[in-house]
Each structure stands twice: as structure tokens, then as C-alpha cells.
Chain A
Amino acid sequence: MLTFLQGIFLWGALAVAIPLLLHLLSPRRAVPVPFGTLRFLKAAQKRSSARIRLEHFLLWLIRSLLILLLVLAFALPVLRTSDMGGWLGRARRDVAIVLDVSFSMGYATPRGQVWERAIDAASSIVQGLQDGDRVCVFPAGDGAGPLIEMPTEDLDLAMSLLQELQPGHGSSELRTAILSARTALETDPEREKELVLITDGQKVPWRTLGAEDPSRGVDPELKPFFDEIALFVVSVGSPNPVNTYVQDLSIDPELWIGGKAGRLTASVAGSGEDRNLPVTLSVDNKTSGTREVLIPAGEFADAEILLPSLPSGTHEAFVEVPPDGLAVDDRFHFLLRVFDRVPVLCVGEPSSTFFVRHALDPGGNESSFDVISLAPGRLAEEKLHRFVLVVLCDALPLGGQSILLLEDYVRAGGTLIVFPGDRADVADYQSFKALPALPVRLEDVPDEDAYTRLVATGPIEDFSLANIGVSGLTLLRNLVFNVPVENARILIRTRDDHPFLLAHNYGNGLVLLFAVAADRSWSDFPLSPQFLPILHRAVRQGTGMSKSLQIVEAAGELALPPGVQPPGDGSVIFGPDGEPVVVQEVTGGSFYLEDATRPGIYRDGPEGAPLLAVRLTREESDLTPIPVNRIARLTGSDRDQVVTSVAELLKAVEAYRIGRPLAELFLWIALLLAVLETILANRMSRTPKTLQETINVDPAGRVKEHA
């Protein structure tokens, strides 16, 4: 809508009529001008009348437009991008500010931190509000709650809260914050509504709004809201951010025994240009190794660093890249748990566990396994989390509590191997939900079919029977199973195509179920050459859940992993900066931290033993920017309302609230018209070429050919 701030000047438009009036009212020349003959004047007039009329009309038109534009410019026209509350009153407004508080906002540029510019933008918005306007602020980040939940007129409070606000250690949660802002702005339908989104221009926060799908437009749930309000988006980040970070780690062997060397592989990613950088590993605050790696822009590269031989115990470690604009993700903290011996729990009567125990721990001090035997009845008393592997050897039937414990143990990452036995009926297996399949019957094999060959049918994830020779064995009795549960696999079959060994990933752990007992009562499997390798492979699979490498992702409320126990009083542990972190216990003996958002090592005392390594969410480290046009598409905004600086934001807001002034534009057009008028008027009044200049007459009156 076009409005005028000084409308009284519009009366000046009447001046457009002055040239016309002067022309109409001016008296004709009283004195006629004699001439030789009118014959040629009339002919010339007729020949050029159309052109003369057009020229005069154009001149009149240009002059009229010139006057009109000057008048309009004086009247100070503004183009409003939205309707005003009324000519005589100013509509009051509610403004919601959604501010990205992810850790990427801490990116430092030569012009200062992105976060400072974000606070500057938010403060400018608040300062630009007038009496009666209200503001609410919603930080967009993991677990971040509203700063000012409902619109308030207390702008001083808003300013002070903004100044105290700091970016978090989590990722952005734009969508959640926008929804909260929507709720706040809907409280008063009579007010004008504005929403200001302040981010660093990173693509990550927009994924929840559909940034990954190029064909996606405005979120259907948010579209009615965006259509109703004035939306401004400001990206205060660097247009070409450069950041390198360790994306992930793995170690080999996954279960690390003390006194042996290993290998660490760090997956390093970067945004920005291709870079050659050193990646450094430090263990127990000593540099262990450095590897140069070329990181292509937008991709990742692996850096392999040898792990030194370490004594058993928990070791603090980190992988580090050189400092860059975003320092908070330059270090990747983790804990290395080095085992003296792998703790394995064998549950069953001694006769049932005999072969398993001796396969894992033949005796002496050579074995890597520390095998503990336990009677089935005492299973409920045991803390299973300290065992890498639990083997049930004819241990069923078990009480409900024991089964629940076993299921929790597997879900948390443990490995369970189940050997059936004579003690249990088929029905005793039914309540065990973690099993890859439920047996339907116990079958005695006829003598003539006793001998069978085993056939390996393929890996399940990392469990592979490669390099294990699978030969024949004598079966006397075995479980027959129904259809395996979803995601379960048959790893070994008999010649008759009956499952011999099944596997099932349950939660974070693994359950392996044999069709035969662990002793010789059902088969000669324990005496077969494949018994030991299969068992050891199963153990390795069970421990291949990175138990030596301990990392958890930062979170507002973080459940302590199995095996991580708070100190004696259980009420606090200490974060990376030595600050206390409250530990809450939930039913069942689980614990969670109230605030584990800071990356680093959490300890059981201010200088205590390490308990937990927390890392930042790696997704947030990807600073790849999102194009401005894409933002406009995702929000349904005009391109002018998606800006990249505080100055542009204020200009866009002003243009919306007050209007875009057009006086300068009108004056430029008037200048152009003035130039045009001068050219046209000069052309019309130019001294034309005369006949004497074109014909050549000599002194004797002879006319030569025309020049």
C-alpha cells in the first residue's frame, strides 16, 4: 500500500495543469507576420504536423510527469509491505525472537564471534520496539527452554536476559522454538505479529524444516502461521565458514587387553576448502601420535594412529585437530578401557559349564578371559554390567527377575550366549523375549541321522564365520525352532537345514542361541574342532560393541551407560570444568545426569577418576551454509526479508513497519525526465539546416547540384 507522510504536498499536483492553462489562456498574437506566400508554409505544416503534434505532446507529458514526480517526492511516499493499523493510529505489535543457541554460534570470524552479532541483532530488534510493543525470546537449542515465554512489555528485562545468554553445547532446534513462538504470538490476535529468526546461516538447523529435500517448500504445519505474520530471517554467520572436526572414532581391537598395542582410526571431516592437517592423539595427557591427513572440502578422511600399549584400567584420551574458528569441537574426548582380562560370566551347573569354561580359560595365566561361574539361582544377585559376556549353559528355567536382568544387560550392549539343556522345557523359553527364535520342541535325533555336517550361512553384521572350518558332528538331541524373530539370522545350519546357531541384535547387544547343549549330552559339539573358534568368535562379537572405547553424546539429561557408576553418595559427579553435575537415580538402579551438555571427561571427584567421556553432537560441527534463497523458500518469505547482516535486518524491519521510502526513487526518475526534457526541447528548438546551406548558388545566380 502506498502512503504519504506529508500528504499536504499532493495539492501541488495541480501545478501540472499550469502549462496547459497557460497555453489555453494565452492570447493569440495580435500582429500578423507578413510573408511572401503561405503556400509552402502550409505544405510544410501539413508534412510535419503529425511529428510536431507528437513532439509537443511528449514535451507536455514529460513536463507534467516531472512536476508530478517532484510533488510526489515532496509528499514523502512510502510503500508499506503490510497494512498499517490505520491512518491515525499505530498498531501495537508482538515480536518473537528465535535465537539459535547451538554451539556452532560460537564460531569466531575476523570480525568477531557469530554469537556477538546474533545478540546484537536481537538487541537491535528489542531496542527498535516502541511503547506498547511486546517481545518474547526463544533460544533454539537442545533442551533449551524459552527465555521469555510470553510477550512482555518489559524491554529492559529482555535486554538484560539477552546479554546474559550464552550459546549451548548442543545442536539447534529451530522447529521446536518456532512452535513455541507461535503459541506465544497467538495470545493476542489484535496485535501485529513479527517473528525474527537469528541463526548462523548453517544448513543443520533447517533440516527439521525440510532443508534436505530440494523439492520441499514451507512446512505445512507452519505455513498458516508464516502467512499470518511478518517473518524476518537473519543469518549472521560467515558466508564461507572453515571448520575441521573429528566425526567419529574406532579402535582395533575393539576389546583391548592390557599390554597389547592397538590402532585408532579417527574420521575427520571439514567444511570449507580442502586442507592438509595434523591429527593428534593424546592419552593420559601425553601425545601418543600425530598423523597428517588431507581433508577434502565437505568430505571426511580417516587418520590412523597407533595406540600405545597401555596398562589395564580406564585411560583418558582425546583426538585433536588444529584450532580453527569453532574451537569447541577441536577436541574429541573419549575413554579407553583396557582390560586385564575379559570378564565372562558362565551361568549353569559346573558340569554344564565345564567345556565353555575350559574353552575360554584353559588354565594358567595365558587366557585373556576371566571366567566366573555362577549357579542359575544366583543370577539375580549378580551385577551383570561388569561382564563382557554372559553364557547360559543349561541355565533355564530362570526366574522372571533374572530374565529381565539378562534382557537389560543385552539391551545395554552385552552379549549373551545361550546353550539349552535338559533342565528346561520348551515352555521355559517363551518368556525370554531377547531370544532370536523360540524352540517348538526338543527332538531326539535317530542314530542313522546322528551324523550331520554344519553349514555356515552368513554373517550377521560383524559376526562372520570366515576362516572357521565347519565340519561334521554327531547330534543326539537338539532344539527345533520356529520362525526366527524379525532381524534374527541363522548363522549355522545342519545338513538337514535345521538352525544350529541363531543370532539376534537386541537393543545394543547380541544374543546367540545354540540348538545343542554346551556339554556332550546332546552332541559332540564341545569336542569338535569348531567349538573353540565359534565360541571365541562369539566372544569377540560380544565385545565388539566398542567396550574399550567409551564415548557418549552430550545431552541435557544423560543416562549413565551400564558399567558407569556414580561415586558412593551418588548425588554429584564433576564435569570437565570441575563443576558439579547432579546425578539422579531412577527405579531399577539406573542413573542419569541432569546436565551433561559440556564436552569432556566427567569424574567422580574434582580431580577424581574418569567416569564418562562426553562429546558434542557431531552434526552441529558441519557448518555448510544454506543458500538464502532456500531459506526464503522454506519460510515462504520475500527474498528481502532474508538477510545476512544486522544492518539489513533493521532496514527490512523498518521497510515493513514504516514502509519503503520512494522519494529518492521519484527524484531519480524526475532527474531522468529532466534530462529527457532538455534533450527534446533542445532538439525542437535547434537551428535547422537552411536551404542556403544545402544548395550551392554562385555569384552569377547559377544553382549547382545540391550539397
Chain B
Amino acid sequence: MSRGLTELLTDRQLRLLDRLVLQSRHVVEGSLAGRHRSPLKGASSEFSEHRAYIQGDDPRNIDWKVLGRTDRYYVRRFEDETLLRVYFVVDGSASMGYGSGTLTKYNYACRLAAALAYVTVKDRDAVGLYLYSSETHAVLPAKNSMSHLNSFVHTLMEREPASKTSTAPTLHQIAGTIRRRALIIILSDLFDDEGDLSRALAHFRKQRHDVIVLHTLDPRELDLEFPKGGRFQDPETGEEIVTDPRAIADAYREVFGEFLEQQRRHCRDLNIDYRLVQTSDAPEKFVRAYLNERRRYA
């Protein structure tokens, strides 16, 4: 097993993940024998037809026999069996660096991403990574090798959450980059403008990607369980306020509840799979429950 992956997941966790698969709800592009259907005809073990070569096509697909016969360049097109491309869009902004327990939200998101990436790669599907905060800090293309997975994990672990969040513009940018239909898994606390965020997610859906939003939060952000008042500091802006959480708990519950409901509603309206995850839950537990459910509905 790769050294990078084991830094995030234990052997036991990995064993639990061995039997799981990640399936797309929608028809996506990709190549993998026998599981993900794709509307596109591409590199498959079953030949479909020839198409004239255009600049940019993979030269490996050029049918040399046709070239010998006709002196013209044609590429081979294949059907059915496709490789699932899973892109992980991970929020690495300063707010993700908050954690009331042993794990920060970022650490938790990394573990989730690692677990899901492992399942994907294990199933010979490809994983890619976009790591962002106010801008995109790291991009890994979709590949399906274990070494790539290690690079995936390594890239995640290198990053310290910092700077402000700019989720919406970054998502738009990422959506513009991923041309072929894929499964997009967004791990973020979504502390951004709801309208902008909704439009960014809609961009993904417009391009017919299957989108999963794992809304990553710390339990304290939900419960505001502080024993007394204090001077609270925003990690992104450095702004401070003095307040007594006990006194504003009811109002906070209302406000935060409205925020969650809005995110959920936007995702539902866009047919995006919205899930709320808390850093207090075991990552493998969530992954297992989630993938089992996804498989039942697929």
C-alpha cells in the first residue's frame, strides 16, 4: 500500500473500503470494463467504427491498417465499457482549518477524499484533484494508478488551509476546465455567497456532470457549544467579535439552519447529491453508508 494513503487511512479503514464501489448516478464519460456506460464512443475493447483523424486525437487510436490501405488517417472508435473520471474539488481555505476536536474540517475532507479516491482507483476508475481557496492551488488530472493516488494524497497533505474562500469563482473555473462528463465531488464548508455558489454548481450540471456536495462542518459550527462567552476570531478575515454563544444560541440556530436548508434546496433543485458530514463522524463509516446507498439507487 502507498505510504501517502496510509498516512490518512488505517489498514482497517482500507479493508473496510475494499468492498465498496463508487458509482455514478448519471451517464458519464470514462473507460472501465463493464460498469459505467458512456454515450461517447472512445477507447474501448470493442471496436465500433472509424472516424477521420483530427488534430488532437490520441495517435494511439490511429488505425494504421486503414492508413496503409488508403493513405488517409482514421482513428478507431469504441463502445460501451468506459473509465469513470472522478474529480475531487477540495476547499483549502482558512475556514476549513477550523476544528474543535482532533480533526480540522480540512483534515476530515482529506480523509474523505482519500477514502473515496481509494475506492475509485481500486475499481480502476480515475481520480483527479482540484485544491483551492481564493484560487486553484493544485490540479491533478484524472488517472487510475496507485502512484497517482499517492500523489493525490500527498498534494492534499501538503496544503495548510489558508486565505479566504472564493468557492464560486473557482468552481466556475474548474467547470470550464473539465470538458468531458465526470463525477465531481466537492468537499467544502460552503461559506460563500449562496447565490454565487448555486450558479457555480449549476455550471457543473449544465455540463452534465454528476455532482456530489459533501458539506463539511465541525459539530461546534452546528451546535455552538461554548461554555461561556468570548472573543471570537474569523480565520480568513481576522475579524473579531465579543459575544456570548449561550445568549445568541437560538438566533444562531435559526440563521445557520436557514443556511443549511438553502444549500440543500439549491442542490436538490439542481439534482445534486447533497450530504452533510461532520468531523465528529468516522470517515469510513460515512463512506461505507454513503456508497452502499448510492449503489442501491444507481
List the 5 closest pairs (A to B, CB-CB), nearest first.
Answer: A701-B275, A44-B252, A688-B249, A48-B251, A699-B289
**Contact string against B for A residues 9-36, beta-carbon threshold 8 Å, 1 for contact and 0 otherwise:** 0000000000000000000110111111
Query: Which residues of B come within 8 Å of A, CB atoms?
Result: 95, 98, 105, 189, 191, 214, 217-226, 230-237, 239-257, 259-261, 264, 274-278, 281, 285-286, 289-290, 292-293
A33 smallest CB distance to B (angstroms): 4
**A interface list, Cβ under 8 A from B:** 28-29, 31-45, 47-48, 52, 55, 684-692, 694-695, 697-703, 706
- Per the bound structure, the CA–CA distance linking A36 and B214 in Å amounts to 17
Q: How far is the CB of B112 from chain A (nearest CB, A)?
A: 10
**Minimum CB distance partner of B238 in chain A:** A32
Give 25 A-B contacts (CB < 8 Å), ordered by A residue.
A28-B231, A32-B232, A35-B235, A36-B95, A36-B217, A37-B236, A38-B237, A41-B243, A41-B248, A45-B251, A48-B250, A52-B244, A690-B222, A690-B223, A690-B253, A691-B256, A695-B260, A699-B281, A699-B285, A700-B289, A701-B289, A701-B290, A702-B275, A703-B264, A703-B274
Q: Are A36 and B286 in contact (CB under 8 A)?
A: no
- B260 cross-chain contacts in A, Cβ below 8 A: 691, 695, 703
Given contacts A41-B243, A691-B223, A35 and B257 within 8 Å (CB-CB): no
> Are B242 and A36 in touch, CB under 8 angstroms?
no
Query: Is there an interface contact between B275 and A33, defined as CB atoms closer than 8 Å?
Result: no
Using Cβ atoms and an 8 Å threshold, which residues of chain A touch B236?
Answer: 37
Q: How far is the CB of B38 from chain A (nearest CB, A)?
A: 26
Enumerate chain B residues within 8 angstroms of A32, measured Cβ to Cβ.
230-233, 240
Contact: A690 with B225, CB < 8 Å? yes
18 extra interface residue pairs, beta carbon distance < 8 Å, beyond A34-B235, A692-B219, A700-B289:
A32-B230, A32-B231, A34-B98, A35-B232, A37-B236, A38-B233, A38-B237, A38-B240, A44-B252, A47-B251, A48-B250, A688-B246, A695-B276, A697-B278, A700-B293, A701-B277, A701-B286, A703-B264
Say yes or no: B253 contacts A36, CB within 8 Å.
no
Query: Which B residues touch A29, using CB under 8 A?
Result: 230-231, 242
Per the bound structure, the CA–CA distance linking A688 and B36 in Å amounts to 48
A692 to B293, CA, bound (A): 22
- Please give me the residue from chain A that is nearest to B274 by CB atom: A703
Contact A52 to B276, CB < 8 A, known contacts A41-B232, A699-B286: no
A-chain residues with CB within 8 Å of residue B249 when the two chains form the complex:
44, 688
Interface pair A45/B256, CB less than 8 Å apart: no
**What residues on B are CB-neighbors of A694 within 8 Å?**
253, 257
Q: Is A34 touching B233 in the complex (CB atoms < 8 A)? A: yes
Distance in angstroms between the alpha carbons of A38 and B239 in the assembled complex: 8
Q: How far is the CA of A338 from the CA of B285 in the complex (A)?
A: 129
A33 vs B221: C-alpha distance when bound (angstroms): 13
A686-B233 Cα distance, complex, nearest whole Å: 24
B231-A36 in contact (CB<8A): no
Query: In the complex, which residue of chain B has the Cβ closest to the Cβ of A701?
Result: B275
Q: Are A52 and B226 within 8 A (Cβ)?
A: no
CB atoms of B225 and A37 under 8 A apart: no
A692–B217 Cα distance when bound, in Å, is 12
A38, B98: Cα distance in complex, Å: 12
B263 CB, nearest partner CB in chain A, Å = 9
Q: Tell me whether B98 and A45 are in contact (CB under 8 A).
A: no
Whether B222 pairs with A692 at a CB distance below 8 angstroms is yes
